[in-house]
Amino acid sequence: MTTADTGVPIKGHRGRRITFFVALAVFAQESTWNFYEAQVPPLLAQHVANAALIGLMMGMDNALGVFIQPWMGNRSDNTRTRWGRRIPYLAVGMPLAAVLFATIPLASSLPALVVLMFSYALVANSFKPIGEALLPDFIRPARRSRANAAVKIASSLTVIVSALISVLLVDSHPELAFSVPSALMLVAAAVLVLRVRDSTSPAYQAAVAEERQAPPGARSGTRLREVVLDILRDRDRSRLLVILAVLLFGGAWAASRSLMTNYGMEVLGLSRGSAGGLTLPSGVAFLLAAYPLALLSERLGRLRVMAAGMALLVVALTAATAVQTAAVTVAALCVTAVGGAAFVINGAVVLWNLAPSSKVLGAYTGLYTVGWATGGSLGPAAVGAMVDLNGWRFMLVDAALLAVLAIVVVLRIDVIQRRAAAQRRTVSERT
């Protein structure tokens, strides 16, 4: 298997500039998503009393994303304009999503609210992988971990921004509160459209050059079905295993976060508010660890750092189960955040770098998101089922079991890649 090299490396200052623009786009997108998750449920509660129905409607965006994101990522891969293949979609999608998001609190009935929610989720999911795919378009494979770390830091900061908007505006000016993330989205869209032309990216130029070398009459572009079948049929299995590892670790991560409030109340005897704050210090730990871990990954190897980070998470969750106090739990969650950062900043990069061509980077971005979102949906359910069997006391160990499975998968990928590298060296020496 060949990796997707993107041609001539871009200069360092341009790489930092592009990383900033991608981080800005992701920051704007995630600001609306975080605020959506926090403040749309209360709007639904004004019309619906059934909590299960509210949860079902809130899960609509994840269900849409599983189908839309890979398809749109693939569609952008096959787009050719003088602006590039990503920017045209962002130029249209981000302003439209911003307008739809700002109108959500204006809905006067449940049908109107559901229509606005569906419309926003549809549009926002459509360009989410496209903005993120700009990073591998511009950044060469060796430097993608540090660039992705900067993007993940920007994404993590949106949790704080969403909380501040909620505290400062929601009670007194609810409509205005929704307009603030919308305004951030509009600003980000304007900056991207004015300052970025991804037609100049190494990946875009490599894709165009590859098409020019194709035989006359060959069909341009690659369909999503072909991308998926190529992954499934590949005897190497590395790319499929990466997506499986993302699913497993995404499940472990989501379970350890989404069930933490219940764990704090049931096991640690905390109030609902105190239990809900257990994960706050770990957010700071993630921010502090992300970039140093990216540098370490580029030096020691991404798969090694991912496996070590997940092992650290397993040890921390096991220790917190052995000593069940609030202080130990908070410390353990900070350690798990460091371990989680080791995986999160590298998972997508490993998949990008295994892509056979720069023509499919958007589709691969969407497939990574599908793995993460699927794990985020199934993980809490699986761990919740284990809690039903053995009680809340062992919830953290239950989540750690999913991470152990992810470690096994990542180590298998590492073995496959080392074996393939050794075979390439042998062939090179013979020739």
pLDDT at 2: 45
pLDDT at 431: 64
Tens of pLDDT, residues 283-335: 889 999 999 999 999 999 999 999 999 999 999 999 999 999 999 999 999 99
Q: What percentage of the chain reaches a pLDDT higher than 70?
A: 93
How far is the C-alpha of 53 from the C-alpha of 48, rounded, in Å?
Answer: 8
Cβ atoms of residues 251 and 382 within 8 Å: yes
Under DSSP, the state recorded for 301 is -
Q: What is the mean pLDDT of residues 205-212?
A: 85
DSSP-H helix ranges across 78-173? 87-103, 110-138, 144-165
Under DSSP, the state recorded for 223 is -
pLDDT at 57: 77
Q: What is the mean pLDDT of residues 58-65?
A: 77
Residue bearing tokens 């239990």: 275
pLDDT at 8: 45
Cβ atoms of residues 68 and 125 within 8 Å: yes
Packing angle between helix 280-300 and helix 326-354, nearest 10 degrees?
40
Q: Indicate the range of 197-206, 237-246, 266-275, 396-405 predicted with least confidence.
A: 266-275
pLDDT at 230: 93
The CATH code that applies to domain 224-430 is 1.20.1250.20
Could you state, in order of their start, the residue ranges of all structural domains in the chain?
Answer: 12-212, 224-430
* Residue 34: burial class (beta carbons within 10 Å; 0-12, 13-18, 19+): buried
Residue 377 has pLDDT above 90, yes or no: no
Residue 413 has pLDDT above 90, yes or no: yes
Residue 4 has pLDDT above 70, yes or no: no
CB-based contacts of 85, cutoff 8 Å, min separation 6: 76, 77, 78, 79, 198, 199, 204, 207, 362
Closest C-alpha to 302, from 330, 344, 331: 344
How far is the C-alpha of 17 from the C-alpha of 184, rounded, in Å?
Answer: 19
How far is the C-alpha of 231 from the C-alpha of 228, rounded, in Å?
Answer: 5
Packing angle between helix 361-390 and helix 238-258, nearest 10 degrees?
50
Intrachain domains 12-212 and 224-430 with the same fold: yes
Q: CA–CA distance from 243 to each of 62, 202, 249, 413 (Å)? A: 17, 25, 10, 11
Closest C-alpha to 377, from 110, 63, 136: 63
Residue 249 has pLDDT above 80, yes or no: yes
Closest C-alpha to 116, from 99, 100, 92, 140: 100
Q: What percentage of the chain reaches a pLDDT higher than 90?
A: 47
How many residues can be counted in the chain? 431
- Report, in angstroms and rounded to the nearest whole number, the Rg of the chain calculated over CA atoms: 22
Q: What is the mean pLDDT of residues 194-213?
A: 87
Tens of pLDDT, residues 124-175: 999 888 989 999 999 989 889 999 999 999 888 887 787 777 777 877 787 8
Tens of pLDDT, residues 77-87: 999 988 889 99
**To 5 degrees, how large is the angle CA 367–CA 297–CA 399?**
60
Cβ atoms of residues 143 and 295 within 8 Å: no
- pTM for the predicted model, two decimal places: 0.87
How far is the C-alpha of 364 from the C-alpha of 360, rounded, in Å?
Answer: 6
pLDDT at 12: 55
Biggest alpha carbon distance in the chain? Answer: 74
Q: H/E element holding 249?
A: helix 238-258
Tens of pLDDT, residues 267-288: 999 886 788 778 878 888 999 9
* CATH (one of 1.20.1250.20, 3.20.20.70, 3.40.50.300, 1.10.10.10) for 12-212: 1.20.1250.20
Packing angle between helix 12-45 and helix 51-58, nearest 10 degrees?
150
pLDDT at 16: 83
How far is the C-alpha of 18 from the C-alpha of 15, rounded, in Å?
Answer: 5
Q: Across the chain, what does the average pLDDT equal?
A: 87
Under DSSP, the state recorded for 392 is G
Residue bearing tokens 């202080």: 327
Closest C-alpha to 345, from 415, 394, 286, 269: 286
Q: Indicate the range of 209-213, 334-338, 388-392 predicted with least confidence.
A: 209-213
